[in-house]
Structure 1
Amino acid sequence: MSSSKNDTTIDSISFKNLRRLYLFALLTIALTVLVSQFILQYNLNRQLSDSKIINTSGKQRMLSQKLTKELLILHAATDPSKVEMEKKRIDSILNRWKFNHNALVYGNEKLGFPEEKSALLNKLYQSIQPNFEAIIAASHQYLQIKKNEQNPEKLKQLITIILDNERVFLTKMNQIVEQYDQEALEKVTLQSKTEYGILLFTLLVLVLEFLFIFKPTNKKIEILISKLLTSERKALKLAYNTEVLSEIKENSVKELKSLNYAMENTLLYCRVAPNGTLIHIGEKFSKLLHYNKSTTEQRFSQVLTASEKEQHSIDRIIAEKHRSGWQGEITFTSKEDTTIWLDLSMVPVTIKKGASELLIICFDITERKKAQQEVERLNIESSEAKINQQKIISSKIIENQENEQNRIAKEIHDGIGQMLTGLKFSLESINLDDKEKTSQKMEYLKQLSLDIIKGVRTATFNLMPPELSDHGIVSSLSKLCQELSKLTGKSIVFYNKSQFEQRLDSLTEINIYRLSQEAINNAIKYADSTHIIVQLSHSTSILSITIDDNGKGFDLQSVEKKRNSTSGMGLVFMQERIQYINGRIFINSIPGEGTRITFNIPI
C-alpha cells in the first residue's frame, strides 16, 4: 500500500515537471516567433529606406545628365523666349539636384535618410563633393553670363568644365550606388542568417520537446495503461475480499472511460473484423462519415462509400492485408457525394487466443490534397500564360520581319527599280548622231546613276550599315544620328563621353545598334521631341548608352500593364533583345518633360 502511494507521488511529480517543461517550451517558441517578427520588421524598414536611397542616388545620375543636356540646349538656343524657359528649367533641376545631394550626404528625417553612413560611403561622398560643387558653381556662373549675353568664350569654358566634372560625377555616383547595393545585400544576407539561426533554434526546441516531453509522456501513458489493465484483473479476482481493491477497480474503470472518451472524440478510428464487418467506430469518425450507429451490421467499406467499385477496392485491401497490416492513402466518395482523402493505417490486433480483429486509424488529409491540386492547377495556368506570351512575341517578330521585307521590296521596286527602268529607256533612246542631245542625256544618265547608287546604299544601310561592320558601334551610332538628323530635321546629337574605341563581337554590336535605332525612332515618331541626345560612356566592365529626348514622355506603369497585349509589346521586344546579350535596360520617363532610356551591356 505504501509502495503504491509512493509510486503515485512520483508520477504526480514527474507529470508536474513535464507540464513545466511543456509550458517552458511553448513560451520559448512564442518568444522566438516574436523576436523573429521584430527583427524582420526592423530589417524590412531598413531595406525600405535603402531602396529609397538607391532610387534617389539613381535620380542624381539622371538629374546630372539632364542638367548637362539642358545646358547644352541653352548654349545652342538663340530665341530669347526659349532661353528664359531653359533657364527656369535649369534652375529647377539645380534645386532638385542640390536638395537630393544634401539629403544623401547629411541625411533627411522626412525622407528617412540616415545621417550616419559607412566609412566607405563617407569617403566616396567626400571624393564626389568637389565635382558636385564645380558643376553647381559653373552652372550658376554660366546662367549669370548668359543672362548678360557677354563673353562667349567664357561660356564655352564653363560648358567644358561642366562636361568634364559631370563625367567624373557619374562615374563616382555609380560607385556610390554600387556601394549602397552591396551594403543592402549585406543587410539582407545578415537578416537571412539571423532567420536561419532562429529557425534552427526553434527546431532545436521542438526536438528537445519531443525527447524530454512527448517521448517520456508516451512512456508514462504506456506504463499507466499497463498498470490499469493489471489493476483491473486483480480487481476482478479480489473485489469480494477488500473494499480498497474495489476502489482501485472503480478508479481504473473511470480512467479507462476517460481514455476511451478521448480516443472517441480525437481520433478517426474503428475496429473491423477480418472479414470486413464493422465492430465499432469512434465518435469523431462516425460524425465525419454521417454514420448512424443504430443501423444493422455493415461492412466497413459500405460505411465509407456507396460506390460499389470503391467498396470492392477497400474489401480487397482488408482481405489481402488483414494478417500483415497495411498503411497508405485512400480516396472515396461519401454518401453526401463529397470526395474524402484518408491516410489509413490498418493494424491486426489479437484480442484473445484464436480471435483477432483489425484496428484502423485514419487521418483526414482532404484539405492537404485539395491544396496540392490547387497548386498544380496554378502551375499549369502559369505555364500556359508564359507559352501564350511567347507565342505573341514570336508572331510579332515574324510580322515585323515580314513588314521589313515588304518595306525593302517596295523601296527597291518603287525607287531603285523605277530608276533602273528609266536608265534602260534613256540608254535605248540615245542617238549617237545627235551629239548635242547625246551630251545632255549623258549628263542626265550620270545623275540618274548617282541616284541609283544612293538608293542602293540607303537600302543596304537599313539592312546592315557598313559602318557597323567596318568601324564598330561608335562610328555607326554617330553615322546613324547624322543621317536621321538630316532626314527628319531634328537635332540629334551623339557624344562619345569616355572616348570608347573598343570593338565588340558582331552579335553584341548589331543588337546594341538595333536597340539604339529603336529608341531613337520611338523618340522621333511618338514623343514629338525636337532634341535627342545619344551619349556613350563606359567603365572597365560596363558599356552604357543613354538616349535622352525632350518629348512628351509617357506613364511607364500604364505601358507595363499592356505587356500581354499586342499593343504593348515594344518594351517586351527591347527586353528580349537586351537580355539576349546579358544587358539591362532602364527607362525613366516623366509626362510632359521627356524620356531617358539607358542600356547597360557587359564588356
Structure 2
Amino acid sequence: MKKGNQEVAEKITFKNLRRLYFFALWTIAITIILSQLLIQYNLKQQLSDSKIINISGKQRMLSQRITKEVLILNFVSDASPKKEIAHVRNVLSLWQTNQNALENGSDSLAFPREKSEALSKLYAEIKPSFNIIVESVNLFISNLEQKNNAVDNQKLVQRILKNEGIFLSKMNEIVTQYDKEAHEKVTEQRTTEYWIFGFTLLVLVLEFFFIFKPTNKKIERLIAQLLSSQKKALKLAYDTEIISEIKENSVKELKSLNYAMENTLLYCRIAPDGSIIHVGEKFAKLLNYTKFSSNKTFSQILTIDEKEQLNIDRIIFEKQRSGWQGEIKILNREDQTIWLDLSMVPVMIKKDELELLIVCFNITERKKAQREVERLNIENSTEKINQQKIISSKIVENQENEQNRIAKEIHDGIGQMLTGLKFSLESINLDDKEKSAQKIEYLKKLSLDIIKGVRTATFNLMPPELSDHGIVSSIAKLTQELSKLTGKEILFYNKTDFDQRLDSLIEINIYRLTQEAINNAIKYAESTHIIVQLSHSETLLSIIVDDNGKGFDMAGVDKKRNSESGMGLLFMKERIQYINGRVFFNSIPGEGTRVTFNIPISKIEN
C-alpha cells in the first residue's frame, strides 16, 4: 500500500515538474519573442528617424541649391535660359514635396504624421520663410519667362536670400531635435532591453532552483534505486535457476545460427561416445564426409591414422565434461597432412543429455609458415654465427697484421737505425775532431729519426693524446699525422667545442672506428679530401667522416659480405654495438661517401 502511494506521489511530482518546465520554457520563449518584436519595432523607428534626418539635411542642401540657381539665373546673359528654369522648377518641386512629407507625414516614405510638440512648433516657425521662398522663386521664374522688369527680380532675390538664412537656421534646429528624440528612443529601448534581460535571467534562476535542481535530485534517487534493484536482481538470478534458462537459450541461439555455421565454420556435433550427430557442410567437404560414412565415429572420419584416432577417442572420453582445446594433426584419405586448431565444448541440451560441440580452424598454412620461419631462423642463426666467426678471424688477422707491421717497422726501421747508431758510435775517432763533429751531427739526426719512428709505432698502438687529453685531441692528432703521411688533405672540425672525457674503452673504440673510416677513405675510395666533423648534444655524440672519393653501391656491398670492403663495414657495425652506438653509411658512386657514428653520451659519461 505504501509502495502504491509512493508511486502516485512520484507521478504527481513529475507532472508538476513537467508543468513548471513547460511554463518556464513558454515564459522564456515569450520574453524572447517580445524582445525581438520590440527590437524590430525600434529598428524600424530608427530607420524612419534616420531617413527623416537624412531628408532634413537634404532640405538644407536643396534650399541652398535653389538660392544658387536663382542667383545664376539673375545674372545669366542668355535671354531665355529654358533649361536652367526647368531645372529650378524641378528642384523647387522636390523641395516642396520633401518639406510637405516632413511636416505632414508620408506613408510612402514611412514618415510619421504625429510629431512632438517641439517639432510641431519648429515646423510652424519655419513655414512662413518656406512659403516666402517658394512664392518668390515662382515670381522670379515667371518674370524671367515673361521678361519683366529686372528691378523686381532683384528685390525677389534679396527676399529669397533673407528667408533662406532663416530657413537654414530653423532646419538645423529641426535636425537637432530629431537627433535628440532618436537618442531618447534608443535610451528607452536599451532600458527596456535590460528589463527583459533581467526578467529572462530571473526566470532561468527560478527554473534552476524550482525545476532543474529538484529534478536532478529526483533522478539521482531513481538511479540509486535502479542500481540497488539491479544488484538485487543479479543476486536473485544467481540464487535461482536463471543460469539453466540462459544455457537453454544459448542452445536455441546456437541452433538458429546453424545456417551461418554450416558455411563459415568447421564444426560438428557429436555424442559423448564419439558418434556423429551432425557435421557442418564446410567441415564435411574438408573431411569428404558423406551419408555413406555416417556409421563411423568422429575420430574415424577425421583421420585414417589409427594412432591419431585412438588419441582423439581418448580426448573425447576424458574431456567430455570439462571441454578441451588444442592442435591436432590429421591425415585425410588423399594422404594429405592437415593441422586443425580444435575446440571441444560440452553443451547440455536437456537434463542429463550431453552433446559435444566441435569447432575447428584449419591452421595448415600457419604451420607451414611457422616451419618456414623456424627454417629461416636456423639459417639466419647459422649465417650470423658464420659472420661472427669471420669477424673474429678478421680481428685476429688484423691483430696479427698489425703486430707483424709493427715488428717489421721496429726491425727494418728502428732496429736498423739503432744498428747504424751503434756502428757510428764505435767508428768515432776522438783524435779527428772534424770528422767526429760531422759524425756527431749525423748521430743527432739519426737519433731524431729513431725517436720519430718510436713515436709513430707507439702512436699506432695507443696514441698518448687519447689517454692524456681525450678523444678530441687524439682525433685531431690522427688527422694531422695521416695528412702528413699520405699527402691528402684531411681536416678535423670540433663544431660544438666538445671537451668531455669518456670511458677509456669507449674512447678507444671511437678512435678505432674513426681511424678505420679514414683508412677506408684513403685505401679504397681514392679520395683527395677528407673531412672529419665532431658535434654533440646533451645525449648524443656524433662523428661524421666525409670524403670525395669514388663511392660505392650499398646494395652491392651488402651482397658481398665476404669481400674486404664488406667485412670492413661489418667490422665497424659490430664494433660500434659494443658501445651501444649506431653507424650509418651513405655513398653515391662517383661523388663520395659519408660515414656517421652516433654514440649516446648519457650512457658513457663518467
Which TM-score applies when normalising by structure 2? 0.48
